Amino acid sequence: MQANGFFQGIGEAVGEAIHAVVTFLLSVFTNFFDAFEAFIDGLARSLGISPSFFSILVLVMGLWILWGGLRALFRGALIGGIVRTVLGLFVLGWLLM
């Protein structure tokens, strides 16, 4: 590329800098999403569930309910803690079957 003028050279330099930044960000986010996908795939494979969005959502909801039940038990809310813990275990048991 031969620069014919001052502003053309500046424009080429800015364009190359923008191209470098976009290429860098694309590679960073591509690697991040590939790593996230591999994590979800490994998690689903180890649990014996499909790596679909619905399965992961049910897993997160079951763990959230179970965590709420255990927190309630530690706070001293015995009946609510038992109900939430049993409900969380039912959801996770259903998912893992």
pLDDT tens digits for range 27-54: 988 988 899 999 999 999 998 888 889 9
DSSP-derived letter for residue 76 is T
Categorize the per-residue pLDDT at 2 as very low, low, confident or very high, splitting at 50, 70 and 90.
low
Q: Please tell me the pTM assigned to this model.
A: 0.69
Percent of the chain at pLDDT > 70 equals 97
- Burial class from Cβ neighbours inside 10 Å (0-12, 13-18, 19+) for residue 77 reads middle
What DSSP element (H or E) covers 5?
none
What would the pLDDT profile of 14-31 be if each residue is shown by its tens digit?
Answer: 999 999 999 999 998 898
pLDDT of residue 87: 94
Query: For tokens 């502003």, what's the residue?
Result: 7
